[in-house]
Structure 1
Amino acid sequence: MPHWLDQRAHLTPGRKAVSGGGESWTFQVLATKSKQTARQLVKMGVRRGDHVALLLGNGLHTVCVMHALSYLGAVMVPLNTRLAVAELGWQLTDSEASVLVYDEKHREQAKRLKREGVVPSVISWDRLTSLPEEPVLLRRHLSLEEVHTIMYTSGTTGHPKGVMLTYGNHWWSAVASALNLGLRAEDRWLVGVPMFHMSGLSILMRSVIYGMTAVIQETFDPAEANRAILHDGITHVSAVAVMLTQMMDNLGERRYPDSFRCMLLGGGPAPKPLLEKARERKIPVFQTYGMTETASQIVTLAPEDSLRKLGSAGKVLFPAEIRILEGKRECAAGEPGEITVRGPNVTRGYWKRAEATEQVIREGWLRTGDIGYLDEEGFLYVLDRRSDLIISGGENVYPAEVEAVLLSHPAVEEAGVAGVPDQRWGQAPVGFVKPGRGTPVEGDELIRYCQGRLARYKVPTRIVFVEELPRNASGKLIRRSLPDRLSKGGEGDED
């Protein structure tokens, strides 16, 4: 099909595409700037098929680079800016990125990555925009089969996996959302979630496909988000539970206008009291279920069901299918099992991970590892994002990744990590450690050790020392039993 931004700039050139940081661009301006950036990237040696990593915060410049890469046929590798340098370096090496583009806010991380030589070329956004443009014929058409994005998601093996998402995955995700939520000319979607996450990137995809304005926050601010809804005509917000809680606390007795029609709530099952409080305030909350592998949402509540099915993630979106399996057997209504999904928005697999791909994708069906059930009407209820997954402030924390860091400390013999309820973040990771004999260690030391090797949200908030970890007959760690140790030992040695 025609290049999305070219087509959008042709159809609605004067319509506002993006705004943020006190600046706004129309689709025509965005197309012009993106093409200019594409030619400057060519000067950096970027060619079709190259992988280009982005260490960029939320902003118009990130949108510009994203579209510039599509004009070249290069693959975008968005990096989580909250990761530790060691984690970023691993992803750069694994993705085989040829260029890293960073902005001023992430200069120090980029400088360290450059010194470590994990990527051939490193350039700042400011430096990139000062380069001369290389005359080159830019792409005018896109293939839905081509890979657009490699986005890393945490895995149970301790290393993240690069999810390959095609133009078709993004296209069908956007179409499915519009078919469910509807589309109006005045729609404006607030981007308060990180654009390196699927939730943020998907809004930018929808923006150019729909011809809708994306209003970008550099960092989420509940007061500013409420002001934008109340006074700037924001109609949609993507949020996680902690963001919605902060917005309602700030909102006080005020009410959103009727023009605000969607608070799209993802990041794991929301507490029912939060949903009931939102209902009392007439906030149109639509729970949704999805993941990086499904290019954002694949199950979402329809507007007419938002009150009747409070607590449900909704029905599978139009072009997709869903099954609940127990082993190979399809579960009956109300019976919990593994959520499996299939559709044109589901990834083709993981970058350089053929075995991992074969384990979770068979005949197009993605085994999510999440547990849930379908009721008699086909509404999905998610019981657990994964049996071991910790969701802290909307961020996924996989215990195996944190355990690997703890086990690398010379004083740690065994380690397990589990989530415990946290009033602010929903859940927080706690480390359960069996120290080695004759090698004393303090909990604070282990926390500092993790801080140098993990993103802040992954660092255990507490270390609990135990005599043994709960394991089954085959020796496998039973993580769901770890929080029981809190009532037995608390912080310090369990004697």
Structure 2
Amino acid sequence: MINLSSFIAFHARRTPDRCALKYRGEDISYADFDLRIRQVGSWLALQGVAPGEVVAVLMKNSTAFLELVFATSHIGAVFLPINYRLSADEVGYIVGNSGARLLVADEEYAAIAAGGAPVVLLGEVAQSSVTNLAPDIAPAPIHVRQPRDLMRLMYTSGTTDRPKGVMLTYENIYWKSSDQTLVLGLSADTRLLVVGPLYHVGALDLPGIAVLWHGGMLCIHRTFEPEPALAAIEREKLNAAWFAPVMTTALLTCPNRERYDVSSLQWAIGGGEKTPEVRIRAFSDYFKNARYIDAYGLTESCGGDTFMDAGREIEKIGSTGRAIAHVEIEIRDDAGKRLPAGQNGEICLRGPKVTQGYWKDPEKTASAFFGDWFRTGDVGYLDDDGFLYLTDRKKDMIISGGENIASSEVERVIYEIPGVREVAVIGLPDDRWGEKPVAIVVLADDAGLDLPELTEFCRTRLAGFKVPRQLIIRDSLPRNPSGKVLKRVLRTELEATA
């Protein structure tokens, strides 16, 4: 049997008292977690969830979140985490497109829990354990799954105006866990700080639940705050972490950081952007026993396709490392022809952790592959040693605070504003977030638009992080002979005048 609950049950039999999860001062042993998973499985079945059906969650980090991950798998259903920073319209699309049988949401997100599926809201007590909704319920039997069965759906922004549902199987999840074990040396002694949102592959999969596969421990924070994170490293002797770039910056600039003993930390994975040398050196100066591991990956591959080799961070500055054991990387041109080392092209991946495609979308699935090579939409090159360097994004994507923003999603909304004739949304450098979305708008004659009006309109239709932080009004947009907007030209012009 391949269900995620099977390895929790294994550790519950062998080391029942060993701590699996820490959350808000509570330690949950493997024996307790195993029982909770089976009880929550029964609760899901009582809500009408059958094997193969989708359970969506709209939640911040909590013990309940992970109970639902494993309980959904236990009863043979499909887990769908949704970004709680999205708007009601965006959540409704994902819930509707996925055909979710149930949506479980934190109470604070009741207003955006849309899409037509039955909704169960969790208060603070239920967030500590879903079993508090039905404390005496009998444990559910396991519904055995197979390696190629669908385990999870994750919706990711793409070049279209709606997100795509990435299909991840049990095979994908276990291969990524195996490869990350080889790279990171995961074991029962791994004590992982979880401060990234669990709806994201960074927190859930990099290495995330692979730590529990080994019998290690996850220390879960509901949200990221730099000082509580540093305090947890000291108090719990945590030795591993994943940080979005904005988190790393916050930790390294925390005014009280020198108060904390962070000597237990051995490594932290960074992702979401190319890491400048100054940040790597600052990380090493503060976390003296830890190394900063640059990595590259996508939702479509469960994250973590390349990792930087230990000791080569400065030598290979600007690189995201080399491919892991069971992932192949090639650089290809627009026709799918393989390119030699040192030449820029589209980064393509192949391996057993890579998705087989997109939910209910055979056309997008077909266009995402050159044969069995997945087209990432990112542009880069491999050096002679096989180290990957990112140079551009072929996909029209902005990365702000570790979140992907498809320009076309934002443009679709802005085009709904009366008087907008043309619009282009690009990412410009931002000291705090890495990039910020900027809207360049051409207005119709006699029309007007200012940033507060744009912000108010977009906030009712988009997640807050997707709302443009700057508005530029122009008479026209630069275009090539075929009429395509030249966003590279816009970025170059605006960066030069910033």
Q: Report the more deviating stretch, 403-412 or 439-448.
A: 439-448
2:94 aligned counterpart, secondary structure:
helix
Residue equivalent to 1:239: 243
Post-superposition offset of 1:438? 3.2
Residues 364-403 of structure 1: pairs in structure 2 closer than 5 A: 364-386=372-394, 388-403=396-411
The separation in 1 between residues aligned to 2:138 and 2:264, in whole angstroms, is: 45
1:119 matched to 2:119? The reply is no
- Conservation of the 8 A alpha-carbon contact between 1:5 and 1:27: yes
The separation in 2 between residues aligned to 1:183 and 1:489, in whole angstroms, is: 47
1:207 matched to 2:211? The reply is yes
The separation in 2 between residues aligned to 1:137 and 1:216, in whole angstroms, is: 26
Distance 1:70 1:252, change over 3 A: closer
Paired AA for residue 305 in structure 1: R
The separation in 1 between residues aligned to 2:394 and 2:465, in whole angstroms, is: 18
Post-superposition offset of 1:430? 0.5
Cα displacement string for residues 4-35 of structure 1 (whole angstroms, at most 9, x for unaligned residues): 32223223322111111111211111110111
The separation in 2 between residues aligned to 1:484 and 1:376, in whole angstroms, is: 30
- Conservation of the 8 A alpha-carbon contact between 1:100 and 1:119: no
1:176 matched to 2:184? The reply is no
Post-superposition offset of 1:285? 0.3
Gaps of 5+ in 2: none
2:304 aligned counterpart, secondary structure:
strand
Which of residues 472, 478, 481 in structure 2 aligns to 1:464? 472
Residue equivalent to 2:277: 272
Residue equivalent to 2:368: 360
Paired AA for residue 302 in structure 2: A
- Conservation of the 8 A alpha-carbon contact between 1:15 and 1:26: yes
- Conservation of the 8 A alpha-carbon contact between 1:34 and 1:64: yes
Paired AA for residue 103 in structure 2: L
Distance 1:362 1:136, change over 3 A: farther
Residue equivalent to 2:95: 92
Cα RMSD (Å): 2.1
Residues 437-456 of structure 1: pairs in structure 2 closer than 5 A: 437-456=445-464
Q: Report the more deviating stretch, 261-270 or 481-490.
A: 481-490
Cα displacement string for residues 207-253 of structure 1 (whole angstroms, at most 9, x for unaligned residues): 32121101111110111222222332111110122111111112655
The separation in 2 between residues aligned to 1:55 and 1:454, in whole angstroms, is: 16
The separation in 2 between residues aligned to 1:486 and 1:300, in whole angstroms, is: 33
The separation in 2 between residues aligned to 1:485 and 1:293, in whole angstroms, is: 33
1:324 matched to 2:319? The reply is no
The separation in 1 between residues aligned to 2:485 and 2:36, in whole angstroms, is: 52
Paired AA for residue 37 in structure 2: S
Paired AA for residue 372 in structure 1: G
Cα displacement string for residues 315-342 of structure 1 (whole angstroms, at most 9, x for unaligned residues): 1001111101123222222111111011
The separation in 2 between residues aligned to 1:321 and 1:289, in whole angstroms, is: 13
Residue equivalent to 1:300: 307
Paired AA for residue 489 in structure 2: S
Q: Report the more deviating stretch, 377-386 or 396-405.
A: 377-386
Residue equivalent to 1:23: 26
Residue equivalent to 1:493: none
Post-superposition offset of 1:362? 3.6
Residue equivalent to 2:296: 289
Post-superposition offset of 1:349? 0.5
TM-score computed with the length of structure 1 as normaliser: 0.93
Cα displacement string for residues 19-54 of structure 1 (whole angstroms, at most 9, x for unaligned residues): 111112111111101111111111111100111110
Q: Report the more deviating stretch, 43-52 or 262-271.
A: 262-271
1:414 matched to 2:422? The reply is yes
The separation in 2 between residues aligned to 1:205 and 1:20, in whole angstroms, is: 15
Cα displacement string for residues 116-140 of structure 1 (whole angstroms, at most 9, x for unaligned residues): xx22311123586434877685226
Q: Report the more deviating stretch, 178-187 or 363-372.
A: 178-187
Paired AA for residue 279 in structure 2: L
Residue equivalent to 2:65: 62
Residues 246-261 of structure 1: pairs in structure 2 closer than 5 A: 246-250=250-254, 252=257, 257-261=262-266
The separation in 2 between residues aligned to 1:489 and 1:408, in whole angstroms, is: 29
Cα displacement string for residues 280-333 of structure 1 (whole angstroms, at most 9, x for unaligned residues): 444410000001000111111132433443332111001111101123222222
- Conservation of the 8 A alpha-carbon contact between 1:275 and 1:311: no
- Conservation of the 8 A alpha-carbon contact between 1:470 and 1:481: yes
The separation in 2 between residues aligned to 1:409 and 1:18, in whole angstroms, is: 47
1:37 matched to 2:40? The reply is yes
The separation in 2 between residues aligned to 1:137 and 1:35, in whole angstroms, is: 5
- Conservation of the 8 A alpha-carbon contact between 2:440 and 2:473: yes
1:174 aligned counterpart, secondary structure:
helix
- Conservation of the 8 A alpha-carbon contact between 1:268 and 1:385: no
Paired AA for residue 179 in structure 2: A
Distance 1:151 1:315, change over 3 A: same
- Conservation of the 8 A alpha-carbon contact between 1:302 and 1:314: yes
Residue equivalent to 2:227: 223
Distance 1:487 1:36, change over 3 A: closer
- Conservation of the 8 A alpha-carbon contact between 2:51 and 2:77: yes
TM-score computed with the length of structure 2 as normaliser: 0.92
Gaps of 5+ in 1: 491-495
Q: How many residues align?
A: 484
1:405 matched to 2:405? The reply is no
Paired AA for residue 45 in structure 1: G
Q: Following superposition, which runs of at least 4 residues in structure 1 exceed 4 angstroms of deviation?
A: 126-129, 131-137, 251-258, 487-490
1:6 matched to 2:9? The reply is yes
Post-superposition offset of 1:102? 1.1
2:199 aligned counterpart, secondary structure:
coil
- Conservation of the 8 A alpha-carbon contact between 2:267 and 2:292: yes
Paired AA for residue 118 in structure 2: S
The separation in 2 between residues aligned to 1:21 and 1:8, in whole angstroms, is: 23
Distance 1:486 1:314, change over 3 A: closer
Identity, % of aligned positions: 35
The separation in 1 between residues aligned to 2:323 and 2:267, in whole angstroms, is: 18
Cα displacement string for residues 397-416 of structure 1 (whole angstroms, at most 9, x for unaligned residues): 11111111101112111000
Distance 1:136 1:23, change over 3 A: closer
Post-superposition offset of 1:376? 0.9
- Conservation of the 8 A alpha-carbon contact between 2:39 and 2:139: no
